[in-house]
Chains A and B, each alone.
Chain A
């Protein structure tokens, strides 16, 4: 039979193929050098890997300098920074975590910590971080990096999610914004204020009083900053009962509908995204916008300069705008609690238990990134407040052009920042997130689109919460 020769031919082809594939072998060892876990034989040499997004405009450009500075500080250590785009880095990190080989340090939001703690892939640095390091950080943001008993990294900044107003329009509507910045405002005051901000021409609204980006998943940002000011700073109260079944929650939902029905907010709010509302703000289609971050002042300023230059580069149809930081109104006489976001350098472990030495080195690197010059430069870029003593020190020589009223307003809001809740167990936290994604966000979208009533949404959330936590696991008031 001829078959034998043909089998030989195919075997030949097969082995050729294998050589092609194995030819990649030698290269692979080169690439493997990146593996940080191999803490070589020299007792001190070590490599620390960090996965970092473009935190600020200049951040990724400074990587080389940061690596060099770190090496100068600790000659035996090498800091290897992997750049990643902001929105995709979670997916990369998650893949690495699931594969059991995350980087030593990653820059993430503190709300992500519990997810990784649950996976058992975070490195507790409570014992490793020196008292000097700990003392350098403001206590409030540092709390955000804790979960249960553990400390899982260092915070980079603490930003307030607030509102932003157009100074000219605020004054035209008779709003004493300086007073609001200092003393806050209640929902009722806010409601009246934004009603006055509306400008109509016949039946069409030329300017709204308030526009918040709520398209898609950003809807939850809107709800979250409101409910914090309605006595529900977190998904669980002090006794770890689920908070969003409280009557106050329903009141906030009613308010959300009310503002739209008043005509102070557009009825199409449910598909206004972040870009759209900023465009509306710059083109004078709204008096107040949200969510507002400190850097928006900078963006508005830049556009004003372009308008002055009059070279066609400014936003189409935009007008000069002076950006005023405003606090979120409070509900039902509750204390104002500003919604804060803490992001930072979180420390990970691989499949193998890291050695004490490597652990110490990772902490050194995380501290290097989160404090001093690096932190000062980054936070200034972002218009974010400094949260380390060393950062404030380093920032003294740098100048930032900001509206002093806004700086003061941010300081005021930070003084009643939403406290961290390391006491919420990770599994409860995970369940709350699940309810948020599966029920709260979809129903909120429907509420904004005027497809369900606040009561229907409230009942849906309550039913889901009872199903998850039981009658006794929720707030009944």
Chain B
């Protein structure tokens, strides 16, 4: 049957009438997702929304109107944590995206065996236990001269730094950790997307005598746009919620230099039992992330058709 050897530029879905009646199928296809969503996500979210207007108590919560929101907006620590999170996200997400992309591109030309090895190697850290990771990183950031990073610095004659203990370097340390921690997931997703690019594009470009970087710029990057959008949006969402690193490595210190908004919400919900406040802060956070995501869709998602 249809043997489509040549793919042209993806044309926009034009003929609307052809797709009429498919709506029912579409709903059937997303039915499971929607039911699961309604039950296990929408319901808890609606509960959280209600709780955000309450002083939550397991035995009889009290409705307090917008107090939780007002208090949050007045809370300087909340804004500091938002700033910290934004800084952290801005420093980590684009860099990890670039690193994963570069690694994926570099793996590409090698023979299958080597490709597999590299893929496995980069995927490996993702399976490591979080505890092992934090122990190793504490060793790397050990403030004494015995610490790995400090030993490295001493080669250049620089005195040992108090990495996690000083507000000048604590945030940088967490960022460094994110840069060097596993990018396995993004690399694998990028590789899969790279391999999905139709070779006929390259063939056409080769005929035109395009250089490597021209191909990269005119074929690879546009074709990977949906993947990049995906990794960017999910990366930002993940980064805004991150609290594990700060929780394990610095506990938010020193002097709240590394307090992330995720950590703050966690503390409010569980340390202080101010569940209503935690819910309100989460919803504010959600609005912020949703706004950022919309911007990303706007700039990267023109093939998504809004």
How would residues 82 to 117 of chain A score, 1 for a CB under 8 Å from any chain B CB and 0 otherwise? 000000001100100111100000000000000100
In the bound complex, CA of A451 to CA of B32 (Å) = 55
Query: CB of B23 within 8 A of chain A?
Result: yes
Q: Which residues of A contact B32 (CB under 8 A)?
A: 17
Q: Which residues of B contact A434 (CB under 8 A)?
A: 272
Query: CB of B143 within 8 A of chain A?
Result: yes
Judging by beta carbons under 8 Å apart, are A121 and B58 in contact? yes
Judging by beta carbons under 8 Å apart, are A270 and B166 in contact? yes
Judging by beta carbons under 8 Å apart, are B253 and A120 in contact? no
Q: Which residues of B contact A430 (CB under 8 A)?
A: 272
Q: How far is the CB of A395 from chain B (nearest CB, A)?
A: 34
Query: CB of A217 within 8 A of chain B?
Result: yes
In the bound complex, CA of A276 to CA of B59 (Å) = 44
In the bound complex, CA of A1 to CA of B23 (Å) = 13
Query: CB of A273 within 8 A of chain B?
Result: yes
Q: Which of B1-49 contact A (CB under 8 A)?
A: 21, 23-25, 27-28, 31-32, 35
Query: CB of A3 within 8 A of chain B?
Result: yes
Known: A7-B24, A268-B144. A215 touches B164 (CB 8 A): yes
Q: Which residues of A contact B163 (CB under 8 A)?
A: 271
Judging by beta carbons under 8 Å apart, are B253 and A115 in contact? no
Closest to B39 in A: A21
Known: A121-B59, A430-B272. A442 touches B255 (CB 8 A): yes
Q: How far is the CB of B101 from chain A (nearest CB, A)?
A: 34
Q: Pick the residue among B25, B57, B271, B275 that contacts A437 (CB under 8 A).
A: B271
Closest to B270 in A: A94
Q: Which residues of A contact B271 (CB under 8 A)?
A: 437
How would residues 221 to 254 of chain B score, 1 for a CB under 8 Å from any chain A CB and 0 otherwise? 0000000000000000000000000000111111
The B interface, classified by DSSP as helix, strand, loop or mixed, is loop
Q: Which residues of B contact A273 (CB under 8 A)?
A: 138
How would residues 1 to 36 of chain A score, 1 for a CB under 8 Å from any chain B CB and 0 otherwise? 111001101100110011001000000000000000
The A interface, classified by DSSP as helix, strand, loop or mixed, is helix
In the bound complex, CA of A217 to CA of B24 (Å) = 55
Q: How far is the CB of A435 from chain B (nearest CB, A)?
A: 12
Judging by beta carbons under 8 Å apart, are A271 and B58 in contact? no
In the bound complex, CA of A271 to CA of B163 (Å) = 8
Q: List 23 A-B contacts (CB under 8 A).
A: A6-B25, A9-B24, A10-B24, A10-B25, A13-B28, A14-B35, A94-B269, A94-B270, A118-B273, A120-B57, A215-B251, A216-B253, A217-B253, A266-B143, A433-B272, A437-B272, A438-B77, A443-B255, A445-B253, A446-B255, A449-B162, A451-B254, A451-B255
Q: Which residues of A contact B (CB under 8 A)?
A: 1-3, 6-7, 9-10, 13-14, 17-18, 21, 90-91, 94, 97-100, 115, 118-121, 204, 215-217, 219, 266-273, 275-276, 351, 430, 433-434, 437-438, 441-443, 445-446, 448-449, 451-452
Excluding A6-B24, A216-B249, A351-B59, 4 further A-B contacts by CB distance (< 8 Å) are A3-B24, A9-B25, A216-B251, A271-B162
